[in-house]
Amino acid sequence: MNEMNEYIYPGYQGYATASPTVVNCPQNIYREIPEGTSTRVCWEEPFLTDETGNPIETEYIHQTHHSGSEFFINGCNEQVVHYTFYDYYGTTTYCSFSVTIRASGKS
């Protein structure tokens, strides 16, 4: 941020006055699979944009799972996937969704 309290992003021709927006943060994902098996779950990777819709470079992205990760049936059934985006200007932005894997035929 500059002294005018506005965000300036690499490649942006001017000033962005809003925090970054997460694009493609997935909806919760639900799968049923046979007992004793696992499944790979894929989603479109989320990313950040500025207020004009232009992608923003991130300094670092921490994520608990990657698209294509293998998920198993577990006791709580729901696993939360977290993304934390850190941009070059000190802004932190979040995206979270759940992946629920249940045994086929069980409620």
Q: Tell me the pairing of strands 69-72 and 38-41.
A: antiparallel
Q: What is the mean pLDDT of residues 18-39?
A: 91
Instruction: Tell me what pLDDT residue 22 has.
Output: 95
Q: Which one of 3.40.1130, 2.60.40, 3.90.930, 3.40.50 gives the CATH number of domain 21-103?
A: 2.60.40
Global pTM value: 0.77
- Calculate what percentage of the chain has a pLDDT beyond 70: 79
Q: 89-103 pLDDT, tens per residue?
A: 888 999 999 999 988
Residue 9 above 50 pLDDT? no
Q: Note the pLDDT tens digit of each residue in 55-73.
A: 988 999 999 999 999 998 8
**Domain boundaries in the chain?**
21-103
| 87, pLDDT greater than 90 | no
Tell me what pLDDT residue 6 has.
44
